[in-house]
Amino acid sequence: MRTRGFTLLEMLTTVTVLLILASAVVPMAKNGVRRQKELELRRSLREVRLAIDSYKTQVDQQKIKAPPLENNGYPESLEILVEGAPMMGKTLKMRFLRRIPVDPFLGKAEWGLRSIADEPDSTSWGGGNVFDLYSMAPGTGMNGIPYREW
């Protein structure tokens, strides 16, 4: 009488095939997580940059109270975009962001800032106004560009 079951060779072959497949899936999963963080970083940078541009447009159209002249119409900090700027002739404030987004690679809402007087590749904020921001995360994106240059 013949018993049913798997031989040791069949079991080893199955385990080997599964290990090969698993070794191919793990790097793809890691790249998927990294890609997701990079997408979130792009969204966050775009969101804040659009808020800065919107603030500048509202100042230029004289719809909100202008910051000091040396700011050239740009906000003094990112917090002003969240707290809101006083509207002209009204007691209301115009808000541009609900919150300062979190840098997905750092896990906190800390960004490198640039003022209009800073060099484009500057890594220190000259203060006074916020013209642009960048990620302070170390490393390079999958596109080969360092996160600080995004």
Of 10-14, 38-42, 125-129, the poorest mean pLDDT is in 125-129
Q: What is the CATH number of the domain that holds 118?
A: 3.30.700
Q: How many Cβ atoms are within 10 Å of 129's Cβ, its own excluded?
A: 24
- Mean of the per-residue pLDDT values of the chain: 90
- 12 part of a folded domain: no
Q: Give the Cα-Cα-Cα angle 112, 132, 36 (nearest 5 degrees).
A: 65
d(CA 17, CA 70): 67
**Residue 105, CA distances (Å) to 18, 43, 125, 150 in order:** 32, 13, 21, 13
Instruction: Look at residue 137 and tell me if it is in a domain.
Output: yes
Whether 6 maps to a domain, the answer reads no
Question: What domain range includes position 69?
Answer: 33-149
Asked whether residue 24 is domain-assigned, the answer is: no
Domain assignment present for 9: no
Q: Is residue 13 part of a domain?
A: no
Helix (H, G, I), strand (E, B) or coil at 112: strand
Helix and strand totals (H; E) in the chain: 2, 4
Indicate the number of domains in the chain: 1
pLDDT digits (tens, 9 = 90+) for 21-43: 888 777 777 788 899 999 999 99
pTM of the complete model beyond 0.75: yes
* Residue 14, in any domain of the structure: no
Express as a percent the part of the chain with pLDDT over 90: 60
Residue 16 within any structural domain of the chain: no
